[in-house]
Amino acid sequence: MAPSWLEIDPDSDFSIDNIPFGIISTSSDSQLRAAVAIGEYVLDLKILFGYYSEQNNKTAFETLFPNAASLNFHHVFAQSTLNQFADLGPSIHGEVRCGIRTLLLADTMYPQLLKDNAPLRQAALYPNDSNITMHLPMAIGDYTDFYAGYHHAFAVGKMFRGAANAIQPNYTHLPVGYHGRASTIGVSGASPARIVRPVGQIILDPTAEVKTPITGLSRKLDFELELGCFISRPGSSPGRVDIRSAEANIFGYVLLNDWSARDIQAWEYVPLGPFNSKNFATTISPWVVLASALEPYRAEGIPNPTPLQDYLKEEREDAFFDIKLEVDLIVLVGDVTTNICHTSSTNLMWSFPQMIAHHTLGGCELRTGDLLGSGTISGPHVGESGSLLELSENGKKEVLLAGMEARTFLKDGDTVVLRGYCKGAGGGRVGFGECKGRIYPAHWP
């Protein structure tokens, strides 16, 4: 990892090789604007790029990006979402990320801009503490959740249909997905996202010959460990996206928790799939890791033995990333933390480019800010399950926690924390920070 003039913990998710983007406000300025995370700091891009040097007769933006200054896009960092920045396309995303990285290097070519500029450092570089409020990074028009985690699909299918019929016939032919609800997507910040236990129709006795539902609080509230992908469609015409150009339509990635009420889901999902069991809450991590930051960590996913339709055939096998993923469960009493899952995003069978190609096959238009979820990511071994549904075998066994606690599903007061990061030889850690949510009781009836 190249050294920075800032002191950065080697275990920080936000190394100089990352530079993720987000939307912040501060206790002293309530305006929403763009920022990047670096170590234990947040760098305010609105203030940074707007800084004017009388000595150079230029703004910091014009100094850092002389070739892009004529495009006059510095105003996008004063917006309340990253949508306009995403619309500029991957070449501009990469140029801005590299320019900020250059500014932060120990041997930066521009020490006068920030390194040796105490007033600007004080104005634009904040400690990442309670004075920072994180907001949704994008205006999300639509949200689609896929089911690309093969081991999760197999484990859940085996649970309900037996091993011989665990995987549905269509699973290896196309990326299965359903349309989610964008209005209930929230962001995790310094405090956990507030998740209120959902209410819905449930069957108390699934073995009864006549199924009679009641309406009540979910007794099987669960988390799902996923990756989220934000779409960027700069200047694109609506309609089909060729898989060869699909990656150019990806702005960046976040961690995603698609909270799920398994008892509501079990009753409602036939024949059209989940509805109220999923639409009450989805939480994402606040910092968008650009696709270019993950490029050194490309990897292969789970091999698909099925011959694919031409529109799903990729030119490269390393269309995935080796992101180390983990889940902590924190109980309210005693504030005790237990790590309950370690896995990797290489446990996906379908890549995000394949999801994009399939999503748009029939003419569906994806727009900048749309969010795609990977589906639950689980591994094949004990301790690699990305949901309590798998860990507890749908409530049949308890998951033992620190402090003499145990869970089959989530209780009020529980906090779930998702983490993810990449780290290779010689490179800095490229991570996502935390995706964190706490369960609160619902008032019912």
Q: What token pair was written down for 62?
A: 């014009």
For the annotated catalytic residues, the residue numbers are: 152
Tell me the CA distances in angstroms from 260 to 192, 222, 324, one per residue in order. Answer: 17, 5, 23
User: CB–CB of 71/84 below 8 Å?
Assistant: no
What count of other Cβ atoms lies within 10 Å of the Cβ of residue 206?
A: 11
User: CB–CB of 33/77 below 8 Å?
Assistant: yes
List, in sequence order, every residue forming a beta bridge with 326; answer none if it has no partner.
342, 419
Token pair 């070739």 is found at: 67
Nearest to 360, CA basis, from 238, 272, 244, 248: 238
DSSP run (H or E) holding 102: helix 90-104
List, in sequence order, every residue forming a beta bridge with 419; answer none if it has no partner.
326, 434
Nearest to 141, CA basis, from 68, 233, 247, 208: 233
What count of other Cβ atoms lies within 10 Å of the Cβ of residue 208?
A: 9
User: CB–CB of 288/405 below 8 Å?
Assistant: no
The CA distance from 6 to 16, in Å, is: 9
Residue burial 27-60, b: 16+ Cβ < 10 Å; e: rest: eeeeebbbbbbbbebbbbbbbbbbbeeeeeebbb
- Which residues, other chains included, contact 277 with Cβ-Cβ below 8 Å and sequence gap of 6+? 198, 200, 218, 260, 261, 262, 264, 265, 268, 269
Could you give the 3-state DSSP secondary structure of residue 260?
strand
Nearest to 28, CA basis, from 123, 157, 119: 123
In the chain, % helix, strand, coil (3-state, to 5) comes to 25, 30, 45
